Amino acid sequence: MSVAKQEGLEKKFKLSTTIGTTNMRLFDSDGKIRKYDTPEDILKDFFKLRLQFYGRREAVMLQNIGEELLMLKNKVRFILAVISGDIKLFKRNRAERFLELKQKGYEPFPKRNITPDPVAVGGATEVDEGIHASDYEYLIAMAVGGTFTPEKVQELIAQQKKLEDEAESLGKATPKTLWLRDLDALEKELDVIKQ
């Protein structure tokens, strides 16, 4: 191993090679073969496409944060309703619980790519027009012991505040600033690896 380190790991294990730049034909951002004159031309073409994807990534990240925020708000509201006695969990079947959550305006969160669970009432799989019983599982499945406490509510509110701050900073960011942040993080990691 010490011999390999002396020669250089990249050369010893053939992880790097030289490539001629006189005949560079690659697929461009439209999926067509194109001849590039310089490596910089490749990068310029790549930068435009990369910025578009950072814009898409930002939109998806904001959507995911929005969903998490809504879920946290529902959890806080649900815990407070159970503590105050507005919602009864015990001595009721599963379908009645889900119907009550639907009637009280709790947001359903469907599980992605999972088949629906049948509800115990008449074998029906849906609570109401396209909403499955498992869509409220994120509320019903919370552990009774440590979840329904004021401390847990405060913890969820703190998580909610953190996500709101994250959404605000992400909303202010441009695709360019997101890319620069990622490059800075990559540069720091590479510096750590080199040392």
pLDDT single digits (tens) 17-62? 888 888 899 999 889 999 999 989 999 999 999 999 999 999 999 9
Amino acid at position 190, single letter? L
Nearest Cα neighbor of 152 from 70, 83, 65 is 83
* Multiple choice CATH, 18-184, 2.60.40.420, 3.90.320.10, 3.40.50.720, 1.10.268.10: 1.10.268.10
Of the ranges 83-92, 110-119, 168-177, which one carries the lowest mean pLDDT score? 110-119
The answer to whether 133 and 98 have CB atoms below 8 angstroms apart is yes
Contacts of 99 (CB under 8 A, 6+ apart): 127, 128
DSSP 97: H
Q: What is the dihedral of CA 114, 120, 121, 126, to 10 degrees?
A: -10
Give me the residue spans of the domains in the chain: 18-184
CA 136 to CA 114: how far, in whole Å?
14
pLDDT single digits (tens) 96-147? 888 888 889 889 888 765 444 444 444 444 444 566 767 888 888 887 767 7
Helices (DSSP H) in 85-149: which residue ranges? 94-103, 137-140, 144-147
Most confident region among 10-19, 61-70, 124-133 by mean pLDDT:
61-70
pTM of the predicted structure, to 2 decimals? 0.69
